[in-house]
Amino acid sequence: MNKLTSSIKEAVINSGLRDGMTVSFHHHLRNGDYVLNMVMEAISELGIRDLTVNASSLFDTHRPMKEHIKNGTVKSILTDYMSGELGRFISAGGMNSPVQFRTHGGRPCDIENGKTPIDVAFIAAPASDPMGNCTGKRGKSACGSLGYAIPDARNARHTVVITDELVPYPLIDWSIPETDVDQVVLVDSIGDPKGIVSGTTKITRDPIGLSMAMTAVDVIKASGLLKDGFSFQTGAGGASLAAAKYLKDVMLKENIRGSYGLGGITGYMVDMLNEGCFESLLDVQCFDLKAVESIRNNPKHREISGTHYASPEAKSSAVDSLDVVILGATEIDTDFNVNVHTDSNGRIMGGSGGHSDTAAGAKLAMIIAPLSRARLPIVTDHVTCISTPGSTIDVLVTQKGVAVNPKDRELHDRLVSAGIKVMDIRELKALAESISGVPEKPRFGDRIVADVIYRDGTVIDHIREVAED
């Protein structure tokens, strides 16, 4: 009369997982996640081989994946983001078949349209009832939204919920309903709370970052978009958060009531909601404890699925109505193409996540980045890897000036009229190189180690092998 299974290994056996199939994972437990490693260990011990792993993101904590690749358990990886440790392994040619990078919108899209079917989805759920109604909002490993996991659970042939807090039926604030769940496994712990969410996310104290944040808000004001109904997304980086804080001050001072904040949600966005800058928050992933508490208690702070966030084949998604997004970059080139997949040496250390989805959807897509980082210029002739096409980027904000994409003439004129220091992006490149020198181009091998699949399904770039240092 319930779906409880005694162990992960038992659940894998019951799922009918066989050689060559696809398993999926989501990343709301971030670098604190235990579930992916526990499941892959069980699968490896069962001798199942040649799997495709479709994970919404992979963090350093998932380093055992290297062994599973080496021993043949894992044959292919599909993901939207991969942090440095696994990234270096892949870049050094650790895998035979190229990693497929998608976006946070493209991934649920391809799961739903059947291009990347999932055989068994494993859901890390901070609270579940015995029938699989589950949520991330409660429990000792609470992570808030389970947005990216919702399409996996709905579309997988078989879905296993793994939880460390079993509650009586029915868990009423489910993110994923029992209708999508085959088995529930209770384990001691699904993650390390310290790694799941930061206690608090902090704005930068770096003066360059603060200066860029102020300029970013000036650009938003000058764009004409900052008025009642305004909608906004920003990242969790220090300068992006500082921009949110300055923006809040402006909105409160000018009594502007925005419509919604979107995205990965931080405490700064929660403050904006609570202080009346937004009517609501649409949350696909929580970045800190304040966001988790807010999504648990405030009905105006609502979880959205990855589909609702950004799928390009949904009948619409939240990014389609977005006014402004502030995004980061490891490189941006003079055509405004942005790289967030590799470092300047060409090694994988990131991924698009929602970068290119929000850039495509937002009326104003802004990159905020210092001219150089670790003595390497950020602005370059050609990015090492195209993550987000320049055609979807409107403006670059640096500490030395702002560059507007030539396609945005009206925006250019608005910024100039507002007294913002607007420069040609080639001037910014020259300035960066005058400070940091012209960097050597990475030396790539011939072999392709990853494909970058844009949200419309086209492969917009390949990432090639780079020898280890």
Between 147 and 346, whose beta carbon lies closer to a second copy?
Answer: 147
Using rule CB under 8 A, residue 114 touches a second copy: no
- Cα–Cα distance between 309 and 5 in angstroms, integer? 32
Between 302 and 373, whose beta carbon lies closer to a second copy?
Answer: 302
- Cα–Cα distance between 225 and 228 in angstroms, integer? 9
- Cα–Cα distance between 77 and 106 in angstroms, integer? 15
Between 130 and 351, whose beta carbon lies closer to a second copy?
Answer: 130
Using rule CB under 8 A, residue 304 touches a second copy: yes
Using rule CB under 8 A, residue 132 touches a second copy: yes
3-state secondary structure 276-330: CCCCEEEEEEECEHHHHHHHHHCCCEEECCHHHHHCCCCCCCHHHHCCEEEECCC
Q: Which stretch binds a second copy (CB under 8 A): 54-62, 211-219, 318-326, 401-409?
A: 318-326
**CB-based contact 243:226 (threshold 8 Å):** no
Using rule CB under 8 A, residue 299 touches a second copy: yes
Structure tokens at 278: 């937004």
Which SS3 state, helix, strand or coil, does residue 82 take?
strand
Cα three-residue angle 33-36-40, rounded to 5 degrees: 150
Segment 142 to 201, residues that bind a second copy, using CB under 8 A: 159, 168-170, 172-173, 177-182
**Strand 372-373 vs strand 376-377: parallel, antiparallel, or unpaired?**
antiparallel
Q: Which stretch binds a second copy (CB under 8 A): 120-128, 315-323, 380-388, 395-403?
A: 315-323
Using rule CB under 8 A, residue 315 touches a second copy: yes
Among 24, 175, 305, 387, binds a second copy (CB under 8 A): 305
Between 41 and 456, whose beta carbon lies closer to a second copy?
Answer: 456
Which SS3 state, helix, strand or coil, does residue 422 take?
strand
CB of 275 to a second copy, least distance (A): 17
Segment 1 to 30, residues that bind a second copy, using CB under 8 A: 1, 3
Using rule CB under 8 A, residue 229 touches a second copy: yes
- Cα–Cα distance between 102 and 407 in angstroms, integer? 26
Which SS3 state, helix, strand or coil, does residue 434 take?
helix
CB of 252 to a second copy, least distance (A): 20
Between 4 and 376, whose beta carbon lies closer to a second copy?
Answer: 4
CB of 320 to a second copy, least distance (A): 8
Between 71 and 179, whose beta carbon lies closer to a second copy?
Answer: 179
List b or e across 2-31, with b for residues whose CB sees 16 or more CB atoms inside 10 angstroms: ebebeebbebbeebebeeebbbbbbbbbbb
Segment 267 to 296, residues that bind a second copy, using CB under 8 A: 279-280, 282
Among 233, 307, 344, 405, binds a second copy (CB under 8 A): 307
Between 162 and 196, whose beta carbon lies closer to a second copy?
Answer: 162
Between 63 and 169, whose beta carbon lies closer to a second copy?
Answer: 169
CA dist 117 → 19, 152, 155, 349, 366 (Å):
15, 9, 8, 26, 34
CB of 178 to a second copy, least distance (A): 5
Is the peptide bond preceding residue 439 cis, with omega within 30 degrees of 0? no
**CB-based contact 140:164 (threshold 8 Å):** yes
**Which of 68, 59, 29, 26 is CA-nearest to residue 350?**
59
**DSSP label at 374?**
T
Between 299 and 419, whose beta carbon lies closer to a second copy?
Answer: 299
CB of 308 to a second copy, least distance (A): 5
Q: Which stretch binds a second copy (CB under 8 A): 99-107, 317-325, 397-405, 458-466?
A: 317-325
**Which of 155, 312, 321, 113 is CA-nearest to residue 225?**
321
Between 217 and 314, whose beta carbon lies closer to a second copy?
Answer: 314
CB of 303 to a second copy, least distance (A): 11
Q: Footprint of a second copy on this chain (CB under 8 A)?
A: 1, 3, 131-132, 159, 168-170, 172-173, 177-182, 229, 259-260, 279-280, 282, 299-300, 302, 304-305, 307-308, 311, 314-318, 320-321
